[in-house]
Amino acid sequence: MEILQILRNHIINNQFSLIPNIAIFSIILDNTEKQLLTVLKSQNNSPGPNDLFVNKNDDGNTRFFIIGDWGGIPFIPYKTPSEVAVANAMGKLGKKLNTSFQLALGDNFYYDGVQSVTDPRFQHTFEDVFSASSLQTPWYVLAGNHDHRGNVSAQIEYGKISKRWTFPDYFYTFSLWQSDKQKKLVDFVMLDTVILCGGGDLLDWENTPLKGPQNKYLAEVYWQWVEEQFRQSTAPYLIVSGHFPVYSVAEHGPTKCLVDRLRPLLHQYRATAYLCGHDHNLQHLADDLDGTHMNYFVVGAADIAENNHNHASDVPPDSLKYYWGGEILLGGFGLVEVNNTQMTFSFIEHTEKTLYQTIMKPRL
């Protein structure tokens, strides 16, 4: 089926969450014809409903957490010791540091996602575990491969019930604005890497490389959307998040689809960092392309930690800057502190210990 017909069907059936949230972009059909398509609404130049404003602490920083692969277990008690320990550490640090929000990088509910918006896993694996008062701030969520084994649209719908669960679409953007509400400090682009690259079922994600997107036409639309968001970004910092890694030295290794398609865009538009999960450890990798520098952070150790270097030879030489695999009952997460002059990324152990820290400068 042609992509325009697919999009028309989504609109007719009110399946707006399957359509990119941008105004105009080009689609190439049959490798010969370029058509212009208007879809929904354009990116705003003023604060939107999911945007935030800087919450400057005494040191001038706004802070937020990053957590990936945190989705408990599908049987009683629906949580793991690592997840509970990570949640407790985040709660304590969040109160101490006055954090503003969380990024949740997928595999939110092991092993088969949720089935409906009333699925008890929302309560048992999320609400009851991340219950600290400091964590009652927005959670910006994206889907992982295990979520795609269930009902991702139910996770999107849950945002209408929960005051903090923010998951408006498979792909979406939001921004952290300066206190004057005139300029952005950070632009965030949230991706569904399963739609882009495949890997939505067990047989597929164990393949290296992935077999490709289930719907290649829809994936191409979203690739156009991704570049449009990067092109429109005017903030000093641009953070891109997805579930699958671009680069990883661990069990699943690099995602060829993202190395081929996303990496060049990250460099071209001078993104600050790409955040992901999927491999259950903490990694910082960095590489250079055409005179630009790019940071990749794997933050997938919230539910279980695994010490694995199966793909150490598959990443660029000297690209691995830090690795932590811990032990199976340990966990970790990320912390970002940002101001006008620098962004500091830290890996934090479930004991609240800072494992690693690096600094990134504004891109613009």
Q: List per-residue pLDDT tens for the chain, 364 residues long.
A: 444 555 555 544 444 455 555 443 444 433 333 333 433 344 557 788 999 999 777 788 999 999 999 999 999 999 999 999 999 999 999 999 999 999 999 999 999 999 999 999 999 999 999 999 999 999 999 999 999 999 999 999 999 999 999 999 999 999 999 988 889 999 999 999 999 999 877 666 565 678 899 999 999 999 999 999 999 999 999 999 999 999 999 999 999 999 999 999 999 999 999 999 999 999 999 999 999 999 999 999 999 999 999 999 999 999 999 999 977 678 999 999 999 999 999 999 999 999 999 999 999 8
What pLDDT score does 188 carry? Answer: 98
| Domain tally, the chain | 1
Residue 15 lies in a domain: no
What pLDDT score does 211 carry? Answer: 85
User: Residue 103 forms beta bridges with which residues?
Assistant: 66, 140
Where in the sequence is the domain holding 72, given as residue range(s)? Answer: 46-360
H helix runs in the chain, sequence order: 3-12, 81-97, 121, 145-148, 152-158, 193-197, 202-205, 216-232, 256-268
Residue 171 lies in a domain: yes
Residue 114 lies in a domain: yes
Residue 5 lies in a domain: no
What pLDDT score does 18 carry? Answer: 53
Residue 150 lies in a domain: yes
Residue 22 lies in a domain: no
What pLDDT score does 119 carry? Answer: 98
Residue 95 lies in a domain: yes
Residue 210 lies in a domain: yes
The CATH code of the domain that includes 145 is 3.60.21.10
The residues near 123 (Cβ < 8 Å, ≥ 6 apart) are none
What pLDDT score does 181 carry? Answer: 83
